[in-house]
A = this chain, B = another copy of it.
Amino acid sequence: MTPARPAPDFTALFSARARRMNASAIREILKVTQQPDIISFAGGLPAPELFPLEEVRRAADAALTRYGPAALQYSTTEGHPPLREWIGARAGIPAANVQIMTGSQQALDLLGKILISEGDTVLVEAPTYLGALQSFQPYGPRYVQLPTDDGGIDVDALAELLQTTPAKLLYAVPNFQNPTGRTLDAQRRRRLVELTAQYGVLVIEDDPYGQLRFSGEPAPSLYELGLEYAGDVEANHILYCSSFSKTLVPGLRDAWVQAAAPIVSKLVQAKQGADLHTPTLNQMIVTELLDEVLPRQIETVRRAYGQRAAAMLGHIGEQFPGGVQSTRPEGGMFLWVTLPEGIDSTRMLERALSRNVAYVPGSPFFALGGGENTLRLSYSSATPEQIERGIAALGETIREALD
């Protein structure tokens, strides 16, 4: 080789879009917390010891036998027909209104890609799912934060906002939200659906956790309410995303969107350019698991996460000083802690790590900033013993910060 020439200035060649992308704050934190002696409540990982490993092994085998080489060939962009049919039947809509996606993350990316022009107003919960912000960000949205409380989005504030602020999209995680674990109140759901319909705002309903309710009463999805309101699948303004990542396993990357035909057909065009199709075998594996394994697995996960959430809340009650508040999730994987004003959870993280416990500071979940005194805890993949020791260590850390 000749001596090295100067490198091209790659970053100067990046698109305007690329300049809006950032390294995920959480990702950087997670790297630190992967050291073996750290008890991490930081990640958002489903419990791997609950994965139906042998069932997936048999399903892969069965799919390869059933479909032969077709299980490994290119397949349609829309998705594996029996999988779309099952999803459609469960939702009471035609399979044609179901689009398979390579994980919910792709659903968010491609919905953002086909809908968000630079400067379009996108309404998001404060706080909201960080991955959605990462998907939408390159497309140049203007975020407006919606205030939330323990019942989810404050719909009175939404009504007031819509009177003066034309918006294209509202993004929400109504069930056991990431990061807060909160659930949108049933009455508010109806009002949100009506308001957004009346103001011509499309709603992206992100529902990865809906099946993982371990207490309380299920509320209808925004999609179901939108269908009821509109009277027809083609008039429903709710775009529903869900996934098998939290109910079965995340590593196969199988998810879907339910939406009206014009949205689905534009998603098909977008997905052709993005990855042609979701891996064929993976869709067939999931399809093999739908009837027997999925319901059983949902029960297993619900029960386990319910116990872990209860354990964490119990220890929080005992170990955290007064003035610290926590949400009480009825499902999902996360709870949300609000520290007394003035404590900065980002600065506190270093002290927590020195006590071998990790969490994610809350502020990255706010599209426009805020929440410096909040943090997210995940209970999904921690053992009872880790929960006990970790919450005790976190309690000490908070007490120290209060001094």
Contacts and interface: CB of A to CB of B under 8 A. Distances in A.
Interface of A: 1-8, 10-11, 13-18, 21-24, 27, 45-46, 48-49, 51, 53, 56-57, 60-61, 64, 68-75, 77, 102-103, 105-106, 108-109, 113-117, 120, 131, 134-135, 137-139, 168, 197, 200, 202, 227-232, 234-235, 237, 245, 249-253, 260, 262-263, 265-266, 268-270, 272-282
Contact of A73 (B14, B45, B115): B45
> Which of A105, A117, A253, A265 counts the most B-chain CB atoms under 10 A from its CB?
A253
B117 A3 contact: no
Contacts of A73: 45-46, 48, 51, 249-251
B273 A137 contact: yes
B109 A24 contact: no
> Which of A56, A70, A265 counts the most B-chain CB atoms under 10 A from its CB?
A56
A13 B169 CA distance: 10
A383 to B, nearest CB: 15
Contacts of A262: 10-11
Given A15-B117, A18-B266, 10 more contacts: A5-B197, A8-B237, A10-B262, A11-B262, A13-B115, A17-B113, A27-B77, A57-B60, A72-B249, A105-B274
B272 A27 contact: yes
Contacts of A268: 23
Contacts of A11: 262, 266
Contact of A69 (B14, B51, B273): B51
A279 B253 contact: yes
Contacts of A74: 45, 245, 250-251
A260 B7 contact: yes
Q: How many identical subunits does the complex contain?
A: 2
B69 A234 contact: no
A135 to B, nearest CB: 4
A95 B141 CA distance: 35
A273 to B, nearest CB: 4
B8 A202 contact: yes
A56 B64 contact: yes
A204 B60 CA distance: 35
28 contacts: A1-B232, A4-B234, A5-B230, A7-B230, A7-B234, A8-B235, A10-B262, A10-B266, A15-B113, A15-B139, A17-B114, A17-B117, A18-B114, A18-B266, A18-B270, A21-B273, A23-B265, A24-B269, A45-B73, A48-B69, A48-B70, A48-B72, A56-B72, A60-B64, A109-B275, A134-B273, A138-B270, A252-B280
A228 B1 contact: yes
A200 B13 CA distance: 10
Contacts of A14: 114-115, 266
A274 B231 contact: no
Contacts of A252: 72, 279-281
Nearest to A279: B253
> Which of A17, A115, A234 counts the most B-chain CB atoms under 10 A from its CB?
A17
Contacts of A70: 48
B4 A231 contact: yes
Contacts of A17: 113-114, 117, 139
A77 B262 CA distance: 31
Nearest to A23: B269
Contact of A275 (B6, B102, B230): B102
